[in-house]
Amino acid sequence: MPLALQQSFHENASDHELLKLVGANDRLAFTELYNRYWDKAFAVAMHRTADEDVATEIVQDIFVSLWQRRADLQIKNGIATYLSAAIKYKVINHLASQYKQQQHLVNLANSAPQTTDSTNDWLAEKELRQLLGEAINQLPPKCKMVFLMSREENKTYAEIASELGISEKTVEAHLSKALSSLRQSLKISLPLLLFLLGK
């Protein structure tokens, strides 16, 4: 089929059809998905990060990952939903990494012998971790169970869903609710919460 006809075919194909073609190593189908969703994905990432370079890198990484995993892709709720969820987790990972880097630099800057200030910082973190434990205990039973299975036992969404007889979407919802509840209870930022959780 001439290239022009192939491009026309892909432009008129549905997202579902394009994803099937991508799974069969069709680069033109991937290019069409990229062109359809790059701007939308970038807008979401930009809204969450407020940093053009970071947003560009996040979206680029997601599309690269999509192509690399093309043979195993299982996107049930549409490419837009998939991209939105992928961006959300990429942003969380970026913020957590950024926070840890900042903490590392602070620790290096304060590597002199322990002072009263550093002792106070240690006590503050210890108290915060204690409050975190109490906040986790206050989560609804099912939400707490899912959260601890993910955090303490390092189980995947699929493993938790299978063990509890619920969907992976429900697992995701419980974890999102847990993080939101913990942030509100402790009145701390998401990066700091993730740092305390060791994620």
Q: Is residue 11 part of a domain?
A: yes
pLDDT for position 197: 73
Q: Is residue 5 part of a domain?
A: yes
Q: Do 7 and 85 share a domain, yes or no? A: yes
Instruction: Name which residue leads in pLDDT, 142 or 151.
Output: 142
- CATH for 149: 1.10.10.10
Q: Is residue 13 part of a domain?
A: yes
Give the pLDDT confidence of 68-107 residue by residue, as tens digits. 888 887 887 888 888 888 888 888 877 776 666 556 555 5
- CATH for 39: 1.10.1740.10
Q: How far apart are CA 171 and CA 66, in angstroms?
A: 23
Contact yes or no for 63/45 (Cβ under 8 A): no
Q: Is residue 187 part of a domain?
A: yes
Give the pLDDT confidence of 153-170 residue by residue, as tens digits. 888 889 999 999 999 889
Q: Do 35 and 80 share a domain, yes or no? A: yes
How many domains does the chain divide into?
2
Q: Do 4 and 87 share a domain, yes or no? A: yes
Q: Cβ–Cβ contacts within 10 Å for residue 139, how many?
A: 19
Q: How far apart are CA 8 and CA 104, in angstroms?
A: 52
Secondary structure of residue 27 in the 3-state scheme: helix
CA-based nearest residue to 176, from 158, 192, 157, 198: 157
Give the pLDDT confidence of 23-71 residue by residue, as tens digits. 898 888 999 999 999 999 999 888 888 888 888 988 998 898 888 888 8
Q: Do 85 and 127 share a domain, yes or no? A: no
Q: Do 70 and 143 share a domain, yes or no? A: no
Give the pLDDT confidence of 16-25 residue by residue, as tens digits. 899 999 989 8
Contact yes or no for 90/63 (Cβ under 8 A): no
Task: List the domain range (segments joined by +) for residue 55.
Answer: 1-91
Report residue 47 as tokens.
Answer: 């809204």
